[in-house]
Amino acid sequence: GAVVSQHPSRVICKSGTSVKIECRSLDFQATTMFWYRQFPKKSLMLMATSNEGSKATYEQGVEKDKFLINHASLTLSTLTVTSAHPEDSSFYICSARAITSGKGDTQYFGPGTRLTVL
């Protein structure tokens, strides 16, 4: 149980274009999802917390107009990187909050999306 998927797994785009990444909880409903960014050989950096039906809460230093988050249903959250630039190239990972037997209330992660902006 508690499986999270992400799509696409890899995307290459030109500078100035927008890219949408989807995060889905496959076998559970997630009122809360999270978006992280991970640089090579670094830990996870939380970008924002996404709650179903309400506006996302962004971490300090994360541009909300650049990283648009929508959590329209209990199983889907999307991250749109607008007007992408090469410095936005990174590994983006989503997670969904779930309460499971034996594992308590914690986060389950998707497989990640590798974004490369040319």
Q: List residues binding other proteins (CB under 8 A).
A: 2, 4, 6, 32, 34, 41-44, 46, 49, 91, 93, 95, 97, 102-112, 114
* Closer residue to other proteins in complex, CB, 14/101: 101
Q: Which two tokens stand for residue 92?
A: 């983006």
59: helix, coil or strand? coil
Nearest to other proteins of 67, 108 (CB atom): 108
Q: Report the nearest approach of other proteins to the CB of residue 20 (Å).
A: 18
Q: Which is nearer to other proteins, 98 or 117 (CB)?
A: 98
Answer whether 113's CB lies under 8 Å from 47's CB.
no
Q: Smallest gap, in angstroms, from Cβ of residue 46 to other proteins?
A: 6
∠58-89-50 over CA atoms, to 5°?
Answer: 25
Question: What pairs with residue 67 in β-bridges?
Answer: 81
Phi-psi region of 111 (alpha: psi -120 to 50; beta: other; left: phi over 0): alpha
φ, ψ of residue 88 in degrees (nearest 5): -85, -10
Closest to other proteins by CB, 16 or 31: 31
Q: Please, what is the minimum distance in Å from the beta carbon of residue 41 to other proteins? A: 8
- Shortest CB 14 distance to other proteins, Å: 23
Distance of CA 55 to the CA centre of its chain: 14
